[in-house]
């Protein structure tokens, strides 16, 4: 466990200093108690020998003063260390997380990350001090006392020594049970958190279906389960905990019996007996205290394991000589095969090859699940391909410095997430140093200026969590404005598949057209509207992860294949919307 903790922190200096401070306490405590033996031997006799006791009394007083000073220092140091260790750990985690493939950030990945960065990192920082430090004391005090006792009487020291392995054995068993209970409780707590979030997110759907209370029923079930697991953990740990206390008590009885026998047969003087009893009490007391720390130690161990589970996720491999300049914005897929890995049957893409010359606009079409989104994810290197290669500007995406690649790529997702801040801040995210004129120009080109004019505080209107104050089409326009502001030479767009109102439909379409006008910019758009398809230079039609057609929209329309069918479907849907709206 100590090794685990040590490896967890990038700069374990603070942890080591804290550990050494508590180790010093423990040894000092043991030695101070050891000093009692010569003092009692000198004083507990018919003619007390103050001369012999004085050096030990002085040494004891000095030792006690040092101990007291260390204790006073240790309390605030421990508190500050706990906060500092948590901060260090969170920074370490976040630094690592920024090197992970973006594909790792799925729903579960994000939920795990949230829980580990908040709860687990917090408990490791807190428990490392609140439980780890006393655990060092409770282990080293008995060890020091055994060593001191050997100097007084080897038989009693051997008895102390014999108690340790028996106690540790029972402690281990109790620890295993505590560990299982902690893992179960953590799972139950995650379930409760999930249900609570679900209640919040699903309220509109649940109420629309007249099931407003369904969410709370599921939450109540999760809470009940948590309580059952908690009680089960308590029940299971009762016997091992009692056994441990029994072992410690039995050890004390054995010490009393041995001390009594040696006192009666004259082996021990009264002073020796009193001193050894004090040593026995101070030996058994921290040993007994270990059982109370056991649950915390297991929780610490499990939290460390959870943190390590993220730290062990391999970072996106970096080239040893990364390319830091993108020559042009051409994109080539060469025989790309990619599978999402565990739990997926067929590859998402198989032998996909196509070219997008610099400055061109390519529309990706195909039925749901045909691999369109995967194509865009691979260009931005959310994942690495299994076979084949993707070249951007003539260089394999794996050979770029990740920042170089991403600084020249803008992505417009279907579900655009906006931060709960002003429109201006949301746009500036793309380029914080953009001038006001550039900001206004990007907004105008994406027709975000019309949205701003309508909002009560214009540029300074907060858009709500996730951009809830804006409609889907408006959010997508903000996202396109971001892409324009970023001046990225490659833009990947997942056009909103759902129907937009006519105003948004026209605005989004115009914004996309604006993006495609730049002769330097390569645009790949997952197209769901005939107008967008019509503006494309090329079309890549996918089916079951394979390219089935490529060519210009006019050519493909003539050949009457998959593209033509999809185009006609889009047209029909559009006319249907126009008729019904």
Ligand X SMILES: Nc1ncnc2c1ncn2[C@@H]1O[C@H](COP(=O)(O)OP(=O)(O)OP(=O)(O)O)[C@@H](O)[C@H]1O
Listed in sequence order, the residues at least 6 apart from 278 whose beta carbon sits closer than 8 Å to its beta carbon are 33, 36
What strands, in cross-sheet order, belong to the sheet with 490-494? 409-412, 490-494, 522-526, 361-365, 538-543, 546-551
| b/e burial code for range 526-563 (CB count within 10 A of at least 16 → b) | bbbbbbbbebbbbbbbbbebebebbbebeebbeeeebb
CB of 126 to ligand X, least distance (A): 35
Stretch that binds ligand X, among 44-52, 181-189, 303-311, 364-372 (CB under 6 A): 364-372
Report the DSSP beta bridge partners of residue 364: 526, 540
CB of 363 to ligand X, least distance (A): 13
Q: What span, in angstroms and rounded, lies between the C-alpha atoms of 511 and 447?
A: 7
**Interaction residues for ligand X, span 164-203 (CB under 6 A):** none
The separation between CA 347 and the C-alpha centre of its own chain, rounded to angstroms, equals: 28
CB of 373 to ligand X, least distance (A): 3
Structure tokens at 395: 């260089």
369 makes contact with ligand X (CB under 6 A) = yes
Measured from the CB atom, the residue of 241 and 495 that comes closer to ligand X is 495
Count of residues in contact with ligand X, rule CB under 6 A: 12
580 makes contact with ligand X (CB under 6 A) = no
Stretch that binds ligand X, among 318-326, 372-380, 441-449, 502-510 (CB under 6 A): 372-380
Report the DSSP beta bridge partners of residue 363: 525, 539
CB of 191 to ligand X, least distance (A): 22
368 makes contact with ligand X (CB under 6 A) = yes
569 makes contact with ligand X (CB under 6 A) = no
Please identify which residue in 50, 79, 154, 340 interacts with ligand X, judged by CB under 6 A. 340
55 makes contact with ligand X (CB under 6 A) = no
123 makes contact with ligand X (CB under 6 A) = no
CB of 472 to ligand X, least distance (A): 15
The separation between CA 34 and the C-alpha centre of its own chain, rounded to angstroms, equals: 47
Task: Judge contact between 128 and 5, C-beta under 8 A.
Answer: yes
Give the contact letters, 75-114, x = binds to ligand X (CB under 6 A), - = no.
-------------------------------x--------
Structure tokens at 8: 């967890």
**Residue closest to 365 by CA, chosen among 575, 573, 524, 554:** 524
Measured from the CB atom, the residue of 212 and 369 that comes closer to ligand X is 369
527 makes contact with ligand X (CB under 6 A) = no
CB of 542 to ligand X, least distance (A): 7
**Residue closest to 163 by CA, chosen among 179, 175, 151, 145:** 145
Please identify which residue in 8, 348, 392, 507 interacts with ligand X, judged by CB under 6 A. 348
The shares of helix, strand and coil residues in the chain, as percent rounded to the nearest 5, are: 65, 10, 25
Stretch that binds ligand X, among 148-156, 203-211, 295-303, 370-378 (CB under 6 A): 370-378
Measured from the CB atom, the residue of 153 and 494 that comes closer to ligand X is 494
Please identify which residue in 366, 467, 472, 553 interacts with ligand X, judged by CB under 6 A. 366
Measured from the CB atom, the residue of 152 and 536 that comes closer to ligand X is 536
Structure tokens at 495: 């056009």
Please identify which residue in 372, 398, 482, 521 interacts with ligand X, judged by CB under 6 A. 372
Segment holding 229, helix H or strand E: helix 214-264
The separation between CA 275 and the C-alpha centre of its own chain, rounded to angstroms, equals: 52
Q: What span, in angstroms and rounded, lies between the C-alpha atoms of 495 and 283?
A: 71
CB of 556 to ligand X, least distance (A): 17
362 makes contact with ligand X (CB under 6 A) = no
Measured from the CB atom, the residue of 101 and 466 that comes closer to ligand X is 101
Q: What is the DSSP string of 124-141?
A: HHHHHHHTHHHHHHHHHH
Structure tokens at 135: 């655990």
Angle value at C-alpha 158, between 154 and 164, nearest 5 degrees: 145
CB of 526 to ligand X, least distance (A): 6
Task: Tell me how far CA of residue 313 lies from CA of 99, 188, 307, in angstroms.
Answer: 10, 24, 10
Residue corresponding to tokens 């379409």? 509
Stretch that binds ligand X, among 367-375, 387-395, 425-433, 505-513 (CB under 6 A): 367-375
48 makes contact with ligand X (CB under 6 A) = no
CB of 94 to ligand X, least distance (A): 22
Measured from the CB atom, the residue of 322 and 561 that comes closer to ligand X is 561
286 makes contact with ligand X (CB under 6 A) = no
Q: What span, in angstroms and rounded, lies between the C-alpha atoms of 545 and 525?
A: 17
Stretch that binds ligand X, among 292-300, 312-320, 340-348, 555-563 (CB under 6 A): 340-348
Stretch that binds ligand X, among 40-48, 117-125, 369-377, 467-475 (CB under 6 A): 369-377
Q: What span, in angstroms and rounded, lies between the C-alpha atoms of 154 and 133?
A: 30
493 makes contact with ligand X (CB under 6 A) = no
CB of 348 to ligand X, least distance (A): 4
Please identify which residue in 47, 320, 344, 580 interacts with ligand X, judged by CB under 6 A. 344
As a residue count, the chain comes to: 581
Segment holding 443, helix H or strand E: helix 436-445
Binding residues for ligand X, rule: CB under 6 A, are: 106, 340, 344, 348, 366, 368-374
């Amino acid at each position: 466990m100590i090794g685990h903790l040590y490896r967890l922190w990038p700069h374990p200096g603070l942890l080591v200093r804290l550990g050494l401070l508590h180790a010093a306490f423990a040894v000092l405590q043991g030695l101070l108690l050891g000093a009692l033996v010569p003092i009692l031997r000198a004083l507990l006799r018919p003619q007390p020998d103050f001369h012999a006791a004085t050096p030990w009394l002085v040494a004891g007083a000095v030792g006690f003063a040092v101990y007291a000073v260390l204790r006073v220092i240790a309390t605030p140091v421990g508190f500050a260390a706990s906060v500092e260790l948590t901060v260090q750990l969170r920074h370490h985690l976040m630094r690592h997380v920024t090197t992970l493939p973006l594909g790792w950030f799925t729903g579960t990945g994000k939920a795990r990350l949230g829980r580990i960065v908040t709860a687990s990192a917090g408990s490791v920082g807190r428990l490392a001090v609140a439980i780890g430090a006393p655990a060092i004391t409770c282990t080293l005090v008995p060890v020091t006392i055994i060593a001191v006792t050997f100097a007084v009487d080897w038989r009693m020291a051997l008895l102390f020594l014999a108690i340790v392995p028996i106690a540790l054995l029972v402690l281990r068993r109790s620890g295993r049970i505590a560990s299982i209970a902690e893992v179960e409780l953590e799972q139950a707590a995650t379930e409760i958190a999930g249900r609570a979030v679900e209640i919040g997110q699903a309220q509109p759907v649940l109420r629309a279906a007249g099931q407003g209370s369904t969410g709370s029923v599921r939450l109540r079930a999760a809470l009940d389960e948590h309580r059952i697991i908690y009680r089960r953990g308590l029940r299971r740990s009762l016997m091992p905990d009692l056994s441990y206390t029994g072992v410690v008590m039995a050890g004390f009885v054995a010490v009393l019996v041995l001390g009594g026998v040696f006192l009666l047969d004259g082996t021990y003087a009264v002073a020796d007996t009193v001193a050894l009893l004090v040593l026995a009490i101070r030996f058994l007391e921290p040993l007994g205290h270990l059982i109370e720390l056991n649950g915390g130690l297991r929780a610490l161990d499990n939290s460390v394991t959870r943190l390590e589970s993220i730290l062990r996720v391999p970072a996106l491999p970096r080239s040893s000589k990364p390319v830091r300049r993108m020559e042009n914005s051409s994109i080539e897929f060469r025989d790309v095969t990619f599978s999402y890995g565990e739990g997926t049957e067929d590859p998402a893409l198989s032998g996909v090859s196509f070219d997008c010359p610099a400055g061109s606009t390519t529309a990706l079409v195909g039925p749901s699940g045909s691999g369109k989104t995967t194509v865009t994810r691979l260009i931005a290197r959310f994942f690495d391909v299994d076979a084949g290669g993707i070249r951007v500007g003539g260089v394999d995406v794996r050979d770029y410095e990740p920042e170089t690649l991403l600084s020249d790529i803008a992505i417009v997702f279907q579900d655009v997430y906006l931060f709960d801040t002003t429109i201006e801040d949301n746009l500036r995210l793309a380029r914080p140093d953009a001038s006001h004129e550039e900001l206004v120009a990007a907004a105008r080109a994406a027709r975000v200026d019309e949205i701003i004019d309508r909002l009560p505080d214009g540029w300074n209107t907060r858009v709500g969590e996730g951009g809830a104050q804006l409609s889907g089409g408006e959010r997508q326009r903000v996202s396109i404005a971001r892409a324009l502001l970023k001046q990225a030479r490659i833009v990947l767009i997942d056009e909103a598949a759902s129907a937009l109102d006519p105003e948004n439909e026209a605005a989004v379409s115009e914004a996309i057209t604006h993006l495609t006008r730049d002769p330097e910019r390569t645009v790949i758009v997952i197209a769901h509207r005939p107008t967008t398809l019509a503006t494309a230079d090329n079309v890549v039609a996918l089916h079951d992860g394979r390219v089935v057609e490529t060519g210009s929209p006019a050519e493909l329309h003539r050949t009457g294949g998959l593209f033509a069918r999809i185009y006609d479907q889009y047209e029909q849907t559009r006319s249907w919307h126009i008729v019904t709206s």
